[in-house]
Amino acid sequence: AQSVTQPDIHITVSEGASLELRCNYSYGATPYLFWYVQSPGQGLQLLLKYFSGDTLVQGIKGFEAEFKRSQSSFNLRKPSVHWSDAAEYFCAVGAPGGFKTIFGAGTRLFVKA
Amino acid sequence: ETGVTQSPTHLIKTRGQQVTLRCSSQSGHNTVSWYQQALGQGPQFIFQYYREEENGRGNFPPRFSGLQFPNYSSELNVNALELDDSALYLCASSLVVDGANVLTFGAGSRLTVL
């Protein structure tokens, strides 16, 4: 069965510092992988997605993620965090041709001045 | 292009009542999915509709039901509300391309059951 694990419930980084949010997935083949961001009281916004090809994918707002098949990971990174990045981040996995996208429990990012 | 819109944004019901939540899909999208997001958790898949038929369902009881209309808008109905149904209900529309289902979410409907 597909599953997604986000090991960090919350992370605090200083503004301007780099960020890495971890995501591990369980799936029998190469799934479709996503990162979404949710600001308080809002729906989820797609940051980036991986389907195939280059394992380093670029997204919006300066985010990138790297797919590592050997580690079943899809970690999200940003070189310099801005205060406006404070939000909840969700990693998600979908099966090619499938209808269900499975989300992790999320990592809440706090940014300190 | 218009995004996904949901109504109402907030509502309060009592245990045992029924609720209907509504969703308008993003223009050009033909598939609608519904998710339940309890406080502090990730979204949980309820079901998906394509061409007005349910084509996938998560681990939710039959009292959770839905509809998709010819204009691709959708409703989520929940009967016999329980306290644990209190959550943010998210609608997401998508256009499946090459087997890839990329979701565009609405802002959600927050349901409180007392």
Of A43, A97, A101, Cβ closest to residue B45: A101
Contact (CB<8Å) B33/A51: no
pLDDT score, position B84: 97
pLDDT band at B1 (very low <50, low <70, confident <90, very high): low
Give the residue carrying structure tokens 């289902």: B101
pLDDT score, position A90: 98
**Number of alpha helices (DSSP H) and beta strands (DSSP E) in chain B:** 0, 11
Q: How far is A59 from chain B (nearest CA, A)?
A: 14
Contact (CB<8Å) B43/A104: no
Q: Is the pLDDT of residue B100 over 90?
A: no
Per-residue pLDDT tens, chain A, 113 aa: give them. 789 999 999 999 999 999 999 999 998 777 899 999 999 878 899 999 998 889 999 999 999 999 999 999 999 999 999 999 999 999 999 987 777 899 999 999 999 99
Q: How far is B58 from chain A (nearest CA, A)?
A: 8
Q: In percent, how much of chain B has pLDDT > 90?
A: 80
Contact (CB<8Å) B99/A96: yes
Q: Is the pLDDT of residue B98 over 80?
A: no
Tell me the mean pLDDT in the region B98-112: 90
Contact (CB<8Å) A105/B41: yes
pLDDT score, position A49: 93
| Chain B residues touching A97 at Cβ < 8 A | 99
CA–CA gap between residue A107 and residue A90 (Å, rounded): 7
Phi, psi of B52 (to 5 degrees): 70, 10
Q: Determine which of A34, A39, A44 to mutate to test the interface with B (most B C-beta atoms within 10 Å).
A: A44
pLDDT band at B109 (very low <50, low <70, confident <90, very high): very high
Residue B71, C-beta contacts closer than 8 angstroms, at least 6 positions apart? none
Residue A71 falls in which region: left (phi positive, over 0), alpha (psi -120 to 50) or beta: alpha
Poorest-confidence range of A17-21, B79-83, B93-97? Answer: B93-97
Contact (CB<8Å) A99/B100: no
For B38-75, the pLDDT digits (tens) are 998 999 999 999 989 998 999 999 999 999 999 889 99
CA–CA gap between residue B56 and residue B66 (Å, rounded): 12
| Eight-class DSSP state of B97 | B
Residue A8, C-beta contacts closer than 8 angstroms, at least 6 positions apart? A21, A22, A107
Contact (CB<8Å) A99/B33: yes
| Chain A residues touching B42 at Cβ < 8 A | 4, 90, 103-106
A94, β-bridge pairs = A32, A101
pLDDT score, position B6: 97
Question: Is B91 in contact with B6 (CB distance < 8 Å)?
Answer: yes
